[in-house]
Amino acid sequence: MSGQNTPFRVKIPQTSSQRVYHSRRPHRKSREGCAKCKQRHVKCDETRPRCQKCEKLNLECTYEVILPPGCGKLVTTKQQNQQDPTQARLIAQFLERIPEVAPDAMAHTMAVRAIATQIDHLLQLKQGKFGDCLSNIDTLRHFQDTITPTIISKTGKEVMRGKMIRLAFQSPYLMHSIIAVSIAHLRQTLPAADSSSPKYTLLETYHWQHAIHQYSAELQSPLSPENMDALFSACLLMTVNSFAIDTYNPRASFVFSTNPAPSLNWLFVQSGLRHLLGRTAPWLRKSMWWEMFMDSRSTSFDNTREGREGLHPRLADLCGINEFSTMENNPYLWPLRMLSPLLKLEPSVKTFPRITTFMGRLLPDYYETLIRKDPPALVLLAWWLALMLGVDLWWVDTRARSECAAICIYLADSPDPLVLRLLEFPAQACGYILQRNAEVELDLGCGGWENSSSGFSLEFLALEEGG
């Protein structure tokens, strides 16, 4: 039909297979169904203790209604992961051992699952990764129960066990650090021939790599009262990581290295806390660590006066300190100012925070003398390591003993009788036997020092003010 625009209309017959929609009939949703039915997205008949579907398929049947609403779900913002109030309460109850029901009840079991899921979500761990090792919940509990008393004083322990772990649920790098420290301790407790040791080593390395990477990224952002406690906490745990070593090997020390600076990272890393404290000074009183910082602080650490007054006299002699010495013209004055009052302390977990503060407040000019391996610098470090050995902690002992022995070996042939005499205290502490020329006897002539067939004791080294 030329010239005409005739449309063709084809009527499609309605077949019986065409879907007919009806309005949905009201029905009761299974809001309190079992966990397995929810996972399978099927309606549960809610029969207790096992629903009919799980009974028919012989599946494990558990009910989640005992958990508070919202448990196990993570509420996120653009800035960071945050917990809702219900979730925060659940975590607090779990960590503080005050669950709403007994630990062997279903509520406790489901709380463990919810928290484990949240940790995996926070750390972006895939299900099954490192499945042969302990779960994150196990390592977290090990940190809380076993590790905290071996790291810090009683004041700091309570902060670690409660506030710091809850804070870690919002700071992935802190959670990585906590789990890594816990695994490090667990790995040390394994027998040497244990076949699972390499897996723990791999897992520990995995967490430290993520912790350090994320921690470094956080340091690039502005510091504030909101993130300072997480940074303080991670810095403290990274000190444990850098200080701890697996094997006693004095020959691996910086004193035998042609490039000693990298081998001194275990000492340098603690200075990071000093920089953090400086950058957050306006808000420090708001920190959860404030009380611990005050406990570890000594008025003698603020003593920057010139001269010899209050210093250990023979160490001052070795360091060339006289009445005109200042921190500007003598790099040994400041470390000896800090070390001298520490010699009066009985090393213990209680005094340990004050002893460790020494390494966090060392200045760059002293580091330079260590890198040059100057004998006075090495002797001061050896004396401090001897004090560290007196505390007997798992993450301290091998490093302190190894580095202390290395200094004794390195300086054992010194022609200076004062160096040899002053090595006796650290040598005794680390178990190294000095082959000192028996004819070399030096009259130290100062109060608090005596000859003893058994060597030095800490009481022996007590300093007389103004000696």
Q: What is the mean pLDDT of the chain?
A: 75
Using CA atoms, how far apart are residues 119 and 64, in angstroms rounded to an integer?
Answer: 19
Vertex 113: Cα angle to 108 and 116 (nearest 5) = 120
Q: What are the pLDDT digits (tens) for 35-84?
A: 778 777 788 887 866 788 888 887 777 654 333 333 333 333 334 444 45
Please tell me the predicted confidence (pLDDT) of residue 296.
61
Distance CA 350, CA 353 (A): 7
**88, 161, 227 from 85: Cα distances, Å:** 5, 20, 20
Question: Three-state DSSP class for 81?
Answer: strand
pLDDT given for residue 372 in this prediction:
96
Q: Which segment, 93-97, 449-453, 462-466, is predicted with the most confidence on average?
A: 93-97
Q: In a 3-state reduction of DSSP, which class is residue 465?
A: coil
What are the distances in angstroms from CA 77 to CA 73, 101, 170, 412? 13, 32, 11, 60
Q: 217-249, pLDDT tens digit by residue?
A: 898 889 999 999 999 999 889 888 889 998 999
Q: Alpha carbon of 8 to those of 3, 5, 11: distances in Å?
A: 15, 10, 10
- Residues 134 and 113: their CA atoms lie apart, in Å, by 14
CA angle 235, 370, 304 (to 5 degrees): 75
Asked whether residue 379 carries a pLDDT value surpassing 60, the answer given is yes
Interval 151-173 mean pLDDT: 79
pLDDT, tens digit (0-9, with 9 covering 90-100), for 181-230: 999 998 888 776 777 778 888 888 888 988 888 998 898 889 999 999 99
pTM equals: 0.69
Q: Is the pLDDT of residue 16 over 90?
A: no
Q: What is the pLDDT of residues 122-131, one digit of tens each?
A: 676 554 455 5
At 300-332, the pLDDT tens digits run 556 678 889 989 999 999 999 999 999 999 999
88-97, 102-111, 334-343, 421-430: the lowest-pLDDT one: 102-111
**455, 429 in Cβ contact below 8 A?**
no
Q: Which residues contact 274 (CB under 8 A, 6 or more apart)?
A: 360, 361
Is the CB of residue 107 less than 8 Å from the CB of residue 100? yes
Main-chain dihedrals φ then ψ at residue 63, nearest 5 degrees: -115, 135
